[in-house]
Amino acid sequence: MGWDCEQFYPHDLPEDWRLEYYANYFSALLVPSSQWPEWDEADWTDFLDRSDTLRWIGFGFKAAPDDSQAARLHEVLTEIAARGQAVGLFSHEPLPDELLQWPVTWFDRADGRGQWRWRQLSGAPAGWLDALPAEARAQRQILEAFAASLPQDRNGAPFIVKQGCANMQALTQFKRLTELLGL
């Protein structure tokens, strides 16, 4: 979740190039609720300038945004969607009416048996894990169960790993597995 994973980047890469580097490697990004509500106009402009290669951009919520945050987020989502990128909102809680025109997924985790339980408003299914197992076999089982749970008309969906920065090697391996499995 997020792109601020220092160990992922070459040591000599300038900090202001990190989002572009991330966006060229991964295709989806969930901007966590601990980050975007504090952004000012310059932060939003910088984010939009550097994230144009992502296929999907989501914004996370732990609590409903205030009116000014919701209005600014609506403007940003409009701009991102106009560029042809998919957008989404991930929430644990109901959102203000102004944001309900955008795809909203109330995410749920897989249960202990690897079964996925989808709770959607208008958003598409998306995978969510707090952390990835290090073993490739366990990662493959997660991916196969996730792919099998998707509606028939979908052949892929964003997959978010909350603690991706904690183990970039496992996250990179997970990305390769999705490519090998055609997901």
pTM listed for this prediction: 0.76
Residue 179 structure tokens:
């490519």
Residue 25 structure tokens:
């490697």
Question: What are the residue ranges of helices labelled H in 26-166?
Answer: 41-50, 67-82, 136-149
**What tens digit of pLDDT does each residue of 139-158 get?**
998 888 888 877 777 767 78
Give pLDDT, residue 119.
53
Domain positions in the chain are: 6-180
Tokens 């249960």: give the residue.
Answer: 111
Residue 23 structure tokens:
């966006």
Axis-axis angle for helices 136-149, 168-180 (nearest 10) = 50
**What tens digit of pLDDT does each residue of 92-124 get?**
777 888 888 887 766 555 444 455 555 555 566
DSSP 8-class letter at 26? -
The CATH code of the domain at 6-180 is 3.20.20.410
